[in-house]
Each structure stands twice: as structure tokens, then as C-alpha cells.
A = this chain, B = another copy of it.
Amino acid sequence: MPPGEFELINRHFVRRGAARDDVRIGVGDDAAVVAGRAGSEFVLALDTIVAGVHFPPDLDARLVGHRVLAVNLSDLAAMGADPAWALLGLTLPAADERWLTGFSAGLDALAHRFDVELVGGDTTRGPLSATIALAGFVPAGQALRRRGARPGDDIWVSGTPGDAGGGLALLQGRLQAAGEERAELLRRFQVPEPRVGLGRALRGLATACIDVSDGLASDLGKLCAASEVGADLNSRLVPVSNALRAVAGSVPAFTLALGAGDDYELLFTAPATVRARIDALKAGVALRRIGTISSVAGVRVDGALPEREIGHGFDHFAD
């Protein structure tokens, strides 16, 4: 590869995403400069996705570009933050113009939807991986944390968890399905939808929040550990999509919904007094109450500690 080629590659990322009026210096200098906002704090997240670990190496480049931004948007959603600026670290084995065009288009489309401007970053040669550092705002003191859940709080989840894990299992041939069910589950794995609007709407309502990346049971365990509480889940209340139920076969579908990762739904707690306000939220996704926070440590499903296999309803892609 001739010297300078990676500099040319960087041009794929100039003027990507929204054009924000709080960007003072964007792509092309040693660093980006952005303006603050009175009464707000800054929220900062960084996530890396690695080919062969977090996505199949032959995944469509457009979906890789979507995914690396989506997982970071989901982190900001879980904090109740408004995303604003992204930096991209892209490592590529070679300068593949077609791949880059797809990747930057996938990133660009999602960035526009959430008013995020790509303000900088770094492209290097090496094994395929992508990192986004994402920054945004939250009104001072109002960030949603993992800690804060209190005994008696309702436990809520958005959407239908487990679908993305089902889609991955289909891709890997560990589950079989055809037609609409297959298409729906694949889409849920391949095009995760970060719940940014929901996170924002939960400011002042939720007592704790986390995004479901490792699996509902596992991530609920983290929320409980941070909050120093426990949780009782009711398996009949766990939302399961028709598509997931169709592919589950003889496995109880709720175990897949509790065990699979990559959903990027929000899992949150709130006092019973705000139930009606949460039910009334127009967050673009269904919200379901699935259990109650307890003062007794541990995550229980229908009164019993969850079987180890619930934590691994699907084997994760790796790790």
C-alpha cells in the first residue's frame, strides 16, 4: 500500500453525520473542539467491535458502520444522554474502497438520525476492528446510573429481548428458521436500534438503567450489584417476540429472552408511583414490567435462582 493511502481513506469520514452548530473544529486538525452547554454535563463512552468477536468478518460493511455507532449510542441512551459528537478509530487490513464506502454510509445514516457529527478520529492498518468514542450531554446531575434501584421498584424492559441472539444463532446455523421469522430475527441482530429517545424520556423517572448487551439476566445482575439490591423476575411477564417463540422449539422461549445478548434494549427500574407516566411514554418501543427489585441479593426467576443455562441461553459469538 503506498504511503498516504490511509490519509486518503480518512476523506471518507469528512463531513459525516449531522452538521452541528456546536462544533468549533471538526475533522482535519490534531483534535476536535466543541462547545459546552450551560447547565449540562458531558457524557463520554467508548466501545470497540472486533471482526470475528463482535460481528462475523464477512458482515456487510454498512452494517458494521451502523453497529459500531449503535452500540455507543446505546451506552449514552442508558445514561439518559443526548448524543452529539463521535470520534472514529478504524483499523483495516487494506484500503478497500468498496468496503469503506459501505461502512461510512452505514455510520453516516445512523449519525444523522441521532444528530451526531463525526468530528475526528484515526484510520490505521491492522486486523479489522472499529472503535467509536461518543460524547453527548445530560442535564447536570440527571444522568441515569446503574446504581439507584430501590427495593419495591418495578423492573422494566423495552422491546423483545433475545431476538438479536436468535438472529445470531440463525446466522451461525445453531438455530433454523425461514421466511418472516428468520428475516425479523436477522434484522434485530444486524441492525440494532439504540433506545436514545427512551433513555432521554426516562430522566427523572427511572431510578437505575443499563442497556442489555450481555443478556437480560446478566445485565440485571450488574444493575442489582451496583444498586446493592436483588431482583425477582416473573417469567410469564418477560416479553418474547413471535419470531423468537417460533425458532425456540422445545426450549422455553423466556430463557432465550433472558439469556441472549446484543439486544441493546434498555433495562430500568422505577418506583410503582410512576407506572402510569412510564406507560404513557411515547418512546417508539413497547415497555414491559417484568419484576420487582428486592432487598435480597441475587436475581431470581419465578422465585428460584436462575439456572446457569439462562445466562447462556445462546452461546455468545465469542467470550
Contacts and interface: CB of A to CB of B under 8 A. Distances in A.
Chain multiplicity (copies): 2
Interface string A38-78: 00111111111111111000000000000000000011101
B34 A42 contact: yes
Interface in A198-216: 209-211
Contacts of A319: 1, 3, 6, 124-125
Contact of A54 (B45, B124, B141, B147): B124
Contacts of A230: none
A87 B44 CA distance: 8
B126 A53 contact: yes
A161 interface: no
Contacts of A245: none
Most buried by B among A120, A124, A143, A146: A124
Interface stretch (A127-135, A174-182, A275-283, A294-302): A127-135
Contact of A41 (B36, B124, B140, B143): B36
A272 interface: no
A228 interface: no
A46 B120 CA distance: 7
A45 B28 contact: no
Nearest to A77: B30
Contacts of A211: 30
Given A46-B121, A319-B6, A34 B41 contact: yes
A19 interface: no
Contacts of A119: 44
The 8 closest A-B pairs by CB, nearest first: A133-B133, A50-B126, A31-B45, A46-B87, A30-B78, A36-B36, A127-B127, A48-B89
Interface of A: 1, 3, 6, 24-25, 28-37, 40-54, 74-76, 78-79, 81, 85, 87-89, 91, 119-122, 124-127, 129, 131, 133-135, 138, 140-141, 143, 145-147, 209-211, 226, 312, 316, 318-319
19 contacts: A1-B319, A30-B210, A31-B134, A33-B42, A35-B41, A35-B42, A36-B37, A36-B41, A36-B42, A44-B135, A46-B121, A46-B122, A48-B122, A50-B126, A87-B133, A89-B89, A122-B131, A125-B319, A127-B127
